[in-house]
Amino acid sequence: MAVLTPISRKPMSLVLPVVGAAGGFLGLFVGTANGSGLIGVVVGAVMMAALAFALTQFMDNERVSRWILFALLTASGFFFAGVPGLVLGALAGWFFAWFTFWMYEGRYRAKVQPYLTSGQVLWHYAFNVICGAIFVFLITPILVVLPLSFNSQDFFTFTPEMLRFEAEGYSLKHYRDFFTNNEWQRSFKNSLIIAPIATIISVSFGTLAAIGLSQSHVPGKQAIMAVLISPMIVPLIISATGMFFFYSSIGNFLEGTLGMDKNFVGYIKVVLAHAVLGVPFVIITVTATLVGFDRSLTRAAANMGANPVTTFFRVQMPLILPGVISGGLFAFITSFDEVVVVLFVGSASQKTLPWQMFTGLREQISPTILAVATILVVISIALLTTVELLRRRSERLRGMSPG
């Protein structure tokens, strides 16, 4: 069996503390789950350091050593916690089998500049670990909700069947309830009506405002910008209170003076309120796109006889389109997920999906909320992925990154 060629083996005085620290971090979670985080840290650190020492000093074949460590942690996990422990043990075994020899063979130096000192290399990887820990901290609540949405029981906790990965513990009943329940479907349709219209208004006004504020001759640009992005800064409850009084007067005028339908007026108020919340996101993203815009192109178009409208749609818009779409996606997500403003401004006829979720938590604990939350997370991930792809495209168009 082939032996992987080492790059430069590091002294055990460096390998053992680092591997032990990683083992202690894992032991913290395992120990906390079993009632004692401190014992878990000590046992995890000592055990992983001892395994790293034994496998690197007494085994000549790296591949065999890695398989031994993987099998050992997988079997230990299954012995102490059944199938869930087997899965976690397999993941831990794969990671520590790779990490131990990554440290021991000095492979961590392969992808950093050779002139970096040990302290700089340490900070490079410590910074990555800190960023990863923050990411895990932010994403963990979502990872808890996703499997719970498949619970076959009407509980907000993991059942014993789910923890044992038994098929009886999982079901699509909550998703079925979402797609068949009239209340959920009506609120979902309201969100699909309100969010796109509010997004179109936000994109239209936000793009024009960003282009206007990008002109050097506009007086008081900083003050105007501060006012326009204030809905993103001011606490939402304050904005919602102000919108309640403002749009109430508008609603009374539309209903009393113009004789418009009350339900239709309610939609108008909610759409305008959500548009106000989305405008700051459009302004910020379009303004960032305009930073690298070559204004000589618009002057050249004007010299060729194009009017301002033609110049905007034929020259400027294609280049700033990634920023416009990104701002529109953020505005759409803001409107689709917003609940505080619609509680103040809207009525029962304009009940949106987040409002229905809030009602489900306050009046009845409906596990369908977990299924809806999972669907919203998937939609948000898809939209944010689109934003990232558009951002990279925008950078390529402006020559800020290689194609």
How far from the centroid of its chain's Cα atoms is residue 181's Cα? 28
Q: Which helix (H) or strand (E) holds 131?
A: helix 118-148
Predicted confidence (pLDDT) per residue in 149-169, tens digit: 888 887 777 788 887 777 888
Tell whether the model's pLDDT for residue 6 goes beyond 50: no
DSSP-assigned beta bridge partners for residue 198: none
Give mean pLDDT, residues 275-279: 93
Predicted confidence (pLDDT) per residue in 265-275, tens digit: 889 999 999 99
Torsion of CA 278, 283, 286, 287, to 10 degrees: -160
Q: How many CA atoms lie within 13 A of 205 on its CB side?
A: 17
Token pair, residue 333, equals 């997500």
**What is the pTM assigned to this prediction?**
0.71
Would you state the pLDDT for residue 8? Answer: 52
Q: What domains lie within the chain, and their CATH numbers? A: 12-111 (no CATH), 149-180 (no CATH), 181-397 (1.10.3720.10)
Spatial distance between the Cα atoms of 349 and 206, rounded to a whole number of angstroms: 28
Query: Which residues contact residue 259 at a Cβ distance below 8 angstroms, ignoring those fewer than 6 apart?
Result: none
